Amino acid sequence: MEVERIDHVAVLVNDMQKAERFLAELLETEFTLLGENRKPDIRNATDHTGTELVEPLSDDEVAEVLGRRGERLCFCH
């Protein structure tokens, strides 16, 4: 599979509020809470560039990746 473009960057985080404060200052941006989704069970926020913060709300596949690999960038295509 060849990736032709990146749609947006998601950052998997353990603590949405802590990550939002840190990244908002670092990137000089503001994040807007989008809400909670049930499949996958996450809370997410985004800024004007499309950078998305993703926090798992239960022990689903997102939490599993976060537990195995830690907080990280994910490129979505």
pTM: 0.84
What domains sit in the chain, N to C, each tagged with a CATH number? 8-76 (3.10.180.10)
| Phi/psi at 56 (5° precision) | -70, 145
Rg, C-alpha atoms of the chain: 12
**Predicted pLDDT at 11:** 94
Closest CA to 47 of 66, 25, 77: 25
**Predicted pLDDT at 13:** 96
pLDDT digits (tens, 9 = 90+) for 22-76: 999 999 999 999 999 888 899 999 999 889 999 999 988 889 989 999 999 887 7
What does DSSP assign to residue 12? Answer: E
**Predicted pLDDT at 16:** 94
